[in-house]
Amino acid sequence: MNITTIKLENIDIELILTNANDLEKTFDFELLKKLSFKAEQDDLCFLPESNKLYVGYSDDISSSIATSFRFVSTKEYINNIKLTTSLDDQESIYQIVIGAFLGNYKFDKYKSKKIDIHIKSLYISTPSEKDFSETIKKATTIANSTNFTRDIVNMTPDDCYPKVLAKIATTLANENNLECNILKQKQIEKEKMNALLAVARASRHDPRVIHLSHKPKNAKRKVLIIGKGLTYDSGGLSLKPSDFMTTMKSDKSGACAVLGIMKSVSELNIDIEVHGFIGAVENMIGGDSFKPDDVLVAKNGKTIEVRNTDAEGRLVLADVLDFAQQEISEFDYIIDLATLTGACVVGVGNYTTGIMGHNENLKNKMKECAKKSGEFATPLDFNRFLAKTLKNEVADICNISNTRYGGALTAGLFLSEFIKDENKDKWLHLDIAGPAYVEHIWGVNPHGASGAGVRMVVEFLESL
């Protein structure tokens, strides 16, 4: 889809963006009033006789635009769209473009009849003649990166296993001038990443550890982004119930977000050195499965008693976090993204990312960046009493706490054990278990993968 502020010759439909305060100023006000259109958030009113679609908004422009694009995409005759708006600030145009691309997203890889995405062009008509070209370019890049992430998350476990995820990373590196290093089984063994290897060992697919690097000249900062890449999670011997196992293709969402972030960072050429690390593993069952009661020796030498093989993502991240700090010893921030706990979904709902860490200012900064980007996120606070629930009589630490409560926080506290003391205030853990994959449409997001974390983290990197 091409988005421009240059007038199109042929217009199939006009979208008119309005709110309750401006509704009386619209040309069709009397007709809209009869049709009970109130121009509230995500309200639509289609006037087929004039080919106009009125779009209401209050506080979320991108969601309203996404809703209108889903409607428009059902009309096969519509190819070229004019969007009329009284808004002419850069932020509003950015939100319009984001909403258009994210709302126009379709995933039909597994459909026998493919969906024809027929919308070719969008012309944005504003009261002024400001130059929005850079804003449109940035929004298009970030939206495309989010949709790229969605595509990978939506792939089935038979089509996307660790080797495939590594191939996707390699292709991205070649196309976007990124450095790429892939560790295979023997190299991972040499690095003594035994916690990760334990999770992987019952799968027919060998694990991969992926390192992508964006290194601009005279970079102002250096940031490490770590992603959990469970291409499928059966729960291992602590087998998930069948209805909990459905959608576990989405357990690679953190890794896919890292790929989307690296795509955005390189295409926007952000002047920050960014390193993306991914632990790509499949957690399956078999005669070689790791077991409850096993004691694993992580890469940093800590011993971990396994009491639940379904608490596997933190084992993978433990080794990858340590590996990242070994490879890049000096940096400004280290951020991990993971669909880590159902407890986070219980605590804050399907739509919100949980932000954890030891640095209150850093947590609040990420929350602000999430809000600005259009994502929902909220800080969750650690405390010393929950930390005690991970203590263990058999090993240094247990992979689950001794209480059923505060599961998102205890998982974050477990990861904290693998962050070096000097890096604790530089670290953030983003639990995206809620928003990464939801089985209904919400806001700018479709059924399935949302690309959670991409817009938020790119906003954070740009804010530096």
Same domain, yes or no, for 108 and 196? no
Instruction: Tell whether 6 is covered by a domain.
Output: yes
Mean pLDDT (whole number) for 373-401: 97
Same domain, yes or no, for 183 and 44? no
Same domain, yes or no, for 119 and 159? no
Same domain, yes or no, for 36 and 178? no
Q: What is the CATH number of the domain that holds 68?
A: 3.40.220.10
pLDDT at 135 over 80: yes
What CA–CA distance (Å, rounded) separates 310 from 290?
Answer: 11
Closest by CA to 300, choosing from 332, 331, 276, 324, is: 324
**pLDDT band of 419, cuts 50, 70, 90:** very high
Q: What is the CATH number of the domain that holds 322?
A: 3.40.630.10
Q: Which residues 6+ apart lie within 8 Å of 374 measured at CB?
A: 60, 62, 95, 98, 443, 444, 455
Domain boundary among 75, 97, 130: 130
First to last CA, the chain: 31
pLDDT at 301 over 90: yes
- For residue 20, the one-letter residue type is A
Alpha carbon separation from 453 to 204, 241, 302, 336, 355 (Å, rounded): 30, 28, 29, 10, 11
What CA–CA distance (Å, rounded) separates 142 from 269?
Answer: 12
Burial string for 182-201 (b: 16+ CB within 10 Å, else e) reads bbeeeebeebbbbbbbbbbb
**pLDDT band of 130, cuts 50, 70, 90:** very high
pLDDT at 273 over 80: yes
Same domain, yes or no, for 152 and 122? no
Confidence at residue 166, expressed as pLDDT on a 0 to 100 scale = 98
Confidence at residue 42, expressed as pLDDT on a 0 to 100 scale = 97
Instruction: Tell whether 135 is covered by a domain.
Output: no
Same domain, yes or no, for 188 and 49? no
Same domain, yes or no, for 452 and 369? yes
Q: What is the mean pLDDT of the chain?
A: 97
What CA–CA distance (Å, rounded) separates 164 from 281?
Answer: 11
Confidence at residue 119, expressed as pLDDT on a 0 to 100 scale = 93
Same domain, yes or no, for 343 and 266? yes
Instruction: Tell whether 16 is covered by a domain.
Output: yes
Report which secondary-structure segment, H or E, holds 347: helix 342-348
To the question of whether residue 372 is assigned a binding role by annotation, the answer is no
Confidence at residue 117, expressed as pLDDT on a 0 to 100 scale = 76
Q: With pLDDT > 90 as the criterion, what percentage of the chain qualifies?
A: 97
Single out the catalytic residue among 75, 240, 372, 420: 240
Report which secondary-structure segment, H or E, holds 455: helix 454-463
Confidence at residue 435, expressed as pLDDT on a 0 to 100 scale = 98
To the question of whether residue 305 is assigned a binding role by annotation, the answer is no
What CA–CA distance (Å, rounded) separates 76 from 89?
Answer: 32
pTM reported for the whole predicted model: 0.97
For the chain, what percentages of helix, strand and coil (3-state, to nearest 5) are there?
40, 20, 40
Q: Domain containing 269: what range?
A: 141-463
pLDDT at 115 over 90: no
Confidence at residue 421, expressed as pLDDT on a 0 to 100 scale = 98
Domain boundary among 105, 130, 155: 130
Domain boundary among 74, 98, 130: 130
Same domain, yes or no, for 8 and 91? yes
30-76: pLDDT as tens digits: 999 999 999 999 999 999 999 999 999 999 999 999 999 999 998 88
Confidence at residue 118, expressed as pLDDT on a 0 to 100 scale = 84
Task: Mark whether 314 is an active-site residue.
Answer: yes
Instruction: Tell whether 391 is covered by a domain.
Output: yes
Total domains in the fold of the chain? 2
To the question of whether residue 228 is assigned a binding role by annotation, the answer is yes
To the question of whether residue 233 is assigned a binding role by annotation, the answer is yes
Same domain, yes or no, for 230 and 152? yes
Same domain, yes or no, for 336 and 380? yes
Single out the catalytic residue among 82, 299, 314, 455: 314
